[in-house]
Amino acid sequence: MRRLPPIAALLSCLVLAASPAASAQTCNIADRSVLLILDASGSMNARLPNGETRIAVAQRAIKGVAGFVPAQAEISLRMYGAQSAASQKNCQDTHLAVPFGPASANGGAITTTVDSTKAQGYTPIAHSLGQAANDFAAAARERVIVLVSDGKETCQGDPVVAAKALAARGITVHTVGFVVDTAARGQLQAIARATGGTYFDAPTGPELPETLKSALGACKKTVVVIPAKPQPGKLRTTSATWLASHAVLNAETGQQVGAFNSSRLEMPLPAGIYEVRFGSASWKGIEVRPGETTTISPGVLKVEAGVFVHATVVDSETGEKHGRFDNVSTSVTLMPGVYDLRFAKTEWRFVRVDGGRTTTLRPVAVILAPGLKWKSARVTTQDGKEAARFDAVTSRVALPPGDYVVVVDGNRLPFPATEGAVFEVKGQ
């Protein structure tokens, strides 16, 4: 490979960095081998504001690829999270669904495959990238991966470290963040940056088809690595879980290099890729640069209700526990992500928590007023499934929004409950 003279290399970097059109430029992709990687993890079942699920929009976007890729371009499809339910915790769940072939021939196979896809599993991005390196034919010319994901790594390995290995083999990764939180966006940006690729954002959902089209036509950037300056960078967090320690690890060696807690929110570190343990999960793909400060910002999930809320906070995809609301705790500090609140017999699905923000939920309250005489009382859904039960010590319950029926001694009282609604049953 011909090396640029030092001055020319530096100018190349500066021109690319300074040009706002560099990431938007469209290149000829007729001679490319393009591997699409689609996130089919459980979080893709979350609904967008327009009512569609994320996976439905992604399916539509992927099916349209063959229509705007040159007929002679080689394309293929790999998916992760599509073969195993989240309960199986399968971090090997990635497969080459459609092998490489000309776009003119592969369009039908890709359409058939994505139409039958069920979003259900984990998000093994690092493992998928590692497997993807072997999907390309040895004779492939320009090898490009376009990764579409709505979340961050939920398995072992660090996806940015995996991306660096792909870059060493001449593979470019463009990433598309599909309604992502701040932690996932930072991770996907670092994956693209490590390979000379570009990050594209689809922040609300319906724009995904056009965003994917831009990613497929993106040019590879000329990346020239200049030796790092000797000074370290810094890693800081805006908050930490009270009375908890968050281990900081070097992602490439796995060694712990420090820890954050409520009294230590910043530390100097050599330039590199790091992860921070946050409860039962890890915040991965955190890039620290020489002389710069990288900041990670947790979010806060808070509940406000007219009754005490008893619920467990779990990751929507993995089911891992991250906190609990009870008579004492009404807020939980969390890594950005998508969570469920599990009440005793029902749950509040796909609550998004973003970095540096407080997400406040107002559960529904059902109250049996003092003085009301009753023998049996419960709350059910419209189809009769029990959502809560009252007893000698429980006269108030909190629930997620829903279409309920309050049943008191055989009296059925419909209660279509929006967030924060209160339903009180009184005697005459």
Rg over CA atoms, the chain: 25
Answer yes or no: is pLDDT of 5 > 60. Answer: no
Tokens 């619920």 correspond to: 311
Read off the pLDDT of residues 299-317 as tens digits, 9 standing for 90 and up: 999 999 888 999 999 999 9
> With 80 as the cut, is the pLDDT of residue 4 above it?
no
Work out the average pLDDT over 42-59. 96
Tokens at residue 63, please? 């099916």
- Domain 298-428: which CATH number of 3.30.450, 2.60.40, 3.30.40, 1.10.1760: 2.60.40
pLDDT bracket for residue 66 (50, 70, 90): confident
The pLDDT tens digits of the residues spanning 317-363 come to 999 999 999 999 999 999 999 999 999 999 999 999 999 999 999 99
Task: Report the pLDDT value the prediction gives residue 13, as an integer from 0 to 100.
Answer: 32
**Domain boundaries in the chain?**
6-216, 233-296, 298-428
- Can you give the pLDDT at residue 23? 40
How many Cβ atoms sit within 10 Å of the Cβ of residue 243?
A: 7
Nearest 5°: the CA angle 213, 216, 219 is 125
More confident position, 6 or 125: 125
Average pLDDT over residues 396-401: 97
Bridge-based pairing of strands 199-202 and 171-178 is parallel
DSSP characters over 95-112: EEEEEEEEHHHHHHHHHH
Of 24, 4, 337, which is closest to residue 200 (Cα–Cα)? 24
What angle is formed at CA 154 by the lines to CA 347 and CA 248, rounded to 5 degrees?
Answer: 115
Residue 26: pLDDT band with limits 50, 70, 90: low
Same fold, 6-216 and 298-428: no
Average pLDDT over residues 168-189: 96
Percent of the chain clearing pLDDT 90 (strictly above): 84
Bridge partner list, 259: 247
Average pLDDT score over residue span 161-187: 96
Q: What is the pLDDT of residue 291?
A: 92
- Whether 10 shows a pLDDT value over 50: the answer reads no
User: Predicted confidence band at 68 (pLDDT cuts at 50, 70, 90)?
Assistant: confident
CA dihedral sign of residues 160, 133, 92, 53: positive
Model's pTM, two decimal places?
0.88
- Burial category of 122 from C-beta neighbours within 10 Å (exposed 0-12, middle 13-18, buried 19 and up): buried
Q: Can you point out the beta strands (E) in 231-383?
A: 233-237, 246-250, 256-260, 266-269, 272-278, 281-288, 293-296, 299-303, 311-315, 321-325, 331-334, 337-342, 347-353, 358-361, 364-368, 377-381
Give the DSSP H or E segment for 411: strand 411-417
Is the pLDDT at 22 greater than 60, yes or no?
no
Q: Is the domain 6-216 a CATH 3.40.50.410 member?
A: yes
Tell me what pLDDT residue 44 has. Answer: 97
> Which residues are CB-neighbours of 104 under 8 A, at least 6 positions away?
66, 71, 72
Question: Do β-strands 364-368 and 422-425 pair in parallel, antiparallel, or remain unpaired?
Answer: parallel
Give residue 219's pLDDT band: very low, low, confident or very high (50, 70, 90): confident
The predicted pLDDT at position 3 comes to 38
State the pLDDT confidence band at 228, using cuts at 50, 70 and 90: low
